[in-house]
């Protein structure tokens, strides 16, 4: 078994008033790659955009290949 550090990324999306429908239990998919949502931030509190911190979880990704 190898341990690989997960990679973290910041993703900016348009603000959604129904952001309660979006939480950290969701998985974001981009280019057929799954990312775990680590946190959701409203950085400027002006409700213009949301900043998601996402993580590419290598262990989940590898288990999906098997």
pTM over 0.95: no
8-47 pLDDT, tens digit each: 999 999 887 775 568 888 888 999 999 999 999 888 888 8
DSSP for 6-19, written as a single string: PEEEEEEEE--TTG
**Which among 42, 37, 35 has a CA at the least distance from the CA of 60?**
35
Structure tokens at 53: 């911190």
């Amino acid at each position: 078994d190898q341990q690989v550090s997960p990679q973290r990324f910041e993703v900016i999306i348009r603000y959604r008033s129904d952001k309660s429908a979006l939480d950290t239990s969701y998985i974001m998919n981009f280019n057929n790659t799954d990312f775990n949502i680590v946190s959701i931030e409203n950085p400027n509190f002006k409700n213009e955009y949301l900043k998601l911190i996402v993580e590419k979880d290598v262990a989940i990704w590898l288990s999906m290949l098997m």
